[in-house]
Each structure stands twice: as C-alpha cells, then as structure tokens.
Amino acid sequence: MRRRPAVGYLYITPLVVGVLLFSIYPVIQVVWMSFHEIHLASLRQMTWVGLQNYAELFRIQRPTFSSVLTITALFVGGSVFFHVVIGLLLALMLNATWLKGRTFFRNLYMLPWITSGIMVGYTWSFLFEPRAGILNYMLSLLSLPAQSWTADPTLALPSIIIANIWRGVPYSLIILTGGLQSINPELNESAIVDGASTTQIFRLITFPLIKSFILLTLILDTGLTFHVFDTIFSMTAGGPMHSTETLAVFMYYQAFKYGKIGLGSSISMVLLTFALIIAIVYMRFFRPGRE
C-alpha cells in the first residue's frame, strides 16, 4: 500500500491551524480563566481561586442560578422542539414533487436564518409592541384585551421563544431537506405500488432513513440555541424581573456588566457542559439504526 505523500498534509494545514487557533485555544483559555479571579478593570491580574467561581454561582440571589437554568431549559427545549417539528413538516412539503416553485420557497424560508439576530429581536419587539404592535391589533379584531407581551413576566419568555422559533426553523429545514433528498425515490415508488399509505411510507421508510439527519439537527440546533444572546438581549435584555435571563445573558451580565470575567468564564463552561451532556443524551436515546 502506497504511503500518502506529505504534500497532502500541507493542504489541510491551514484548516488545522485555524481550528487550533480559533476553536481549541479559546476553549482552553476559558477553562483556565474559570479557575481564576479576574476583573474587567485589571485583566492582567489573575488570582487562582480553584472552584470558587463555580461555588459562587449558587450564592447569587438575583437571579438565582437555579432559576436561570430553568429559564434556559424552557427556552432551549421549546425552541428546539418546534425547530425540528416545523422544519420537518416544511421539508416534507417542499420535497413533494407536485409542489411548484420549490426552489423559490426554500430560498424564501432561509431569509430569517440569514437575518441578524439583533434585527430579528427588534422586528419582533415591534410586533409585540403593546400599543402599535400587529399582534395586539389582531387581538382587538377578536374583541380580546391587549397584552404587554415582552413587559409581562409570564409572557416574555414565550414571546422570545416564538421569535427564536421563527429564526431557527430554516436551519433545521435545510438539514432535513438534505436528508429527504438523500432517499432513493424508487423506495417510495415501490411502496406506493405495494399499496402503502402516505403515513406508512413516512413511518416505515422516510423516518428511519432520516433519523441520522434528525439527530444531527438536534445536536447542532441545541448547541446554537444555548448560545442565543443577541435576539434575547435586543427584545428584553433578560427582563422583566429576570424572567428571560438565560445562561448566555446571565454570563454577559456577570462578565461585562459586573466585570467578573472569571465568574463569566465559569458560566460559559457550565453552558458548554450542558450542551455536551444533551448531545450525549441525544446520541444515547436517539441512535440511528442500520436501515
């Protein structure tokens, strides 16, 4: 067996250097900083404190760390669930051969994803505006009372989840569309000839063959949703009364508003750990078979 020429490794050297420099090194640096006391006003002065930053997380009272975790779980769970469900339904619709203009609709549905998160937040803030927002106008047409969507602690979290669902569905859509297009059309045609219904085709053929794509969507989308900051901050800034303060927003406040860089680094490590644990759970309980 011939050995691969060394020049082949030279081709991937820029990629390896980029990954090490912009992905691996920052993670190592954040891990190191999470064990130190670092203040924003004096970044060069680092004091080793061990696990003290992690212990301090549970001593913060407004908001408590447990409430931040609960809000984050609700935000991530609600967003990812609807990202995958709506994305799959749209992918099935846009993959239908009878639909005209499928390429146009796919490009149209990608617009929310390529839009800046801050712009998405400001746009939905206008839609949720109590006096001039279109949602309250629609409620008035139904003789229902207007709502203070992002100013009400009970409605603020659902409001930002709705905005994030709108923005994140296209990401799931494009991955799941790729999965559907990887299925050999002859399989569906043979099933139709054998008298299988649309539901049976989806349950016995389509779903088993795109399980790996659904798993990929769950893992990637969960990681991205954990780190959503711009949309939340532009809509509510974590309020009202900390009702929308997720881990990402909580980390921002601790690191840059209160200047506790070491504490902020520990929060980012907690966030990364939760994302990895959920990815492992996905792979454990949603492992694709050998169809």
Task: State residue 95's pLDDT score.
Answer: 84
User: Does position 70 have pLDDT exceeding 50, yes or no?
Assistant: yes
Q: What residue ranges define each of the domains in the chain, with the CATH number in brackets?
A: 51-285 (1.10.3720.10)
Place of tokens 């929060």: 267
Kindly report, residue by residue over 277-287, the tens digit of the pLDDT: 998 888 887 76
95 and 207 in contact (C-beta within 8 Å)? no
For residues 113, 118, 119, 124, the Cα torsion angle rounded to the nearest 10 degrees is 90
Give the span between the Cα atoms of 192 and 188, in whole angstroms: 6
Q: What number is the average pLDDT over the span 170-181?
A: 92
Mean pLDDT of the 83-96 span: 91
**Total-model pTM:** 0.90
User: What are the residues whose beta carbons fall under 8 Å from the beta carbon of 243, sequence distance 6 or more?
Assistant: 71, 153, 154, 156, 157, 236
The 3-state DSSP class for residue 240 equals coil
Element (H, E) at 37: strand 36-39
Model pLDDT for residues 223-261, shown as the tens digit of each residue: 999 999 999 999 999 989 999 999 999 999 999 999 999
pLDDT digits (tens, 9 = 90+) for 111-167: 888 889 999 999 999 999 988 889 999 998 998 888 999 999 999 999 999 999 999
User: Which residues does 257 contact at the CB level (< 8 Å), separation at least 6?
Assistant: none
In this prediction, residue 15 carries a pLDDT of 87
Q: How far is CA 271 from CA 30, 127, 144, 189, 283, in A?
A: 12, 30, 40, 46, 19
